[in-house]
Amino acid sequence: MAISRFRASTDSKNLNGYRIDMLGSALNLFGALRDDSQILDEAIDIYRRALRLDTWTLPGRAHMFRQLGEVLKHKASWTEALEAFTSAAQCQPQSIFTVFTAECYLHLNQSTLAVNHILSVDRSRLSASELTDYVFVFSAVFVEIGDQRRLEEAESLLRQQGLTSPLFRSCRDSLLISVVGTRRSGRSDSFIRTARRAIAQLLTRANRYLLLEPNIMGFGVRLNAILGDLAKAADQHSGDGKQK
């Protein structure tokens, strides 16, 4: 298997940040798809090892902390995920990190902090994919709060999301049900659970291995692309070692 080959080709004493990031991303995605805590733990260990390297620029460290935070979210380790995203923002302030910290506060039942963070985001600084993250978290936060004016805004933002990926459409539709239901019936534990589950179960964001259109498996995930990239990297790494 390509992941096994990549593991075997990676010398822990001579880590390469790019290759470690590739392996961590693949393990994160596979671990989330299979709901395999052991694979996710391996991804967490990989990113923490990578962060111990002293070769990173500040943007590079921010990226690694973001990747670590994503894996921790899949583990529902919200306190540690919050720490990772906070560290990412300290390395390189980005609006999307504020979105992610708002999401963590939501799952940690700190709704006031979640509201403060999501309302502080400058939407004009978000990319198209990051705006989708923002809309999803914004919606879940105000389902939790039950603020009618913000829920109306959330419904409008959700309906404006032109999503083709089945993963993102499913998340959007679940959030719409919660937003509309809360607007009509008021705050409800059922709608809150649905909204939280929708954003927590979203497998990955802005990942190059996600397809914009559904595939025959219905996942929208280019698993072959992951395996192919890892296999090529393993071969290249082995070749580099032979030349030395």
pLDDT given at position 116: 98
In this structure, the answer to whether residues 121 and 178 fall within a common structural domain is yes
Low-confidence ranges of the chain (pLDDT < 70): 1-16, 201-244
Does residue 73 lie within any of the structural domains?
Answer: yes
Per the document, the length of the chain is 244
Does residue 104 lie within any of the structural domains?
Answer: yes
pLDDT given at position 234: 47
- For residues 11-36, b (16+ Cβ closer than 10 Å) or e, as one string? eeeeebbebbbbbbbbbbbbbbeeee
The helix (H) or strand (E) run that includes residue 105 is helix 95-107
Kindly report the number of other CB atoms within 10 A of residue 145's CB atom. 17
Phi-psi region of 146 (alpha: psi -120 to 50; beta: other; left: phi over 0): left
pLDDT given at position 5: 58
What is the domain extent for residue 50? 1-93+222-244
pLDDT given at position 215: 37
Does residue 215 lie within any of the structural domains?
Answer: no
Does residue 213 lie within any of the structural domains?
Answer: no
pLDDT given at position 7: 59
Alpha carbon distance 215, 165 (integer Å): 9
Evaluate whether 119 touches 99 at the Cβ level (below 8 Å). no
Does residue 119 lie within any of the structural domains?
Answer: yes
In this structure, the answer to whether residues 200 and 99 fall within a common structural domain is yes
pLDDT given at position 161: 87
Residue type, 24: G
Does residue 43 lie within any of the structural domains?
Answer: yes
In this structure, the answer to whether residues 174 and 237 fall within a common structural domain is no
In this structure, the answer to whether residues 101 and 84 fall within a common structural domain is no
pLDDT given at position 110: 97
Residue (of 119, 106, 50) closest to 78 by Cα position: 106
pLDDT given at position 170: 85
| Residue pLDDT, tens place only, 61-83 | 999 999 999 999 989 999 999 99
In this structure, the answer to whether residues 102 and 89 fall within a common structural domain is no
Kindly report the number of other CB atoms within 10 A of residue 61's CB atom. 20
Q: Give the pTM.
A: 0.79
Q: How many CA atoms lie within 13 A of 155 on its CB side?
A: 14
pLDDT given at position 128: 87
Q: What is the DSSP letter of 188?
A: -
Domain count, the chain: 2
Q: How far is CA 209 from CA 10, 29, 166, 219, in A?
A: 22, 9, 14, 11
pLDDT given at position 214: 37
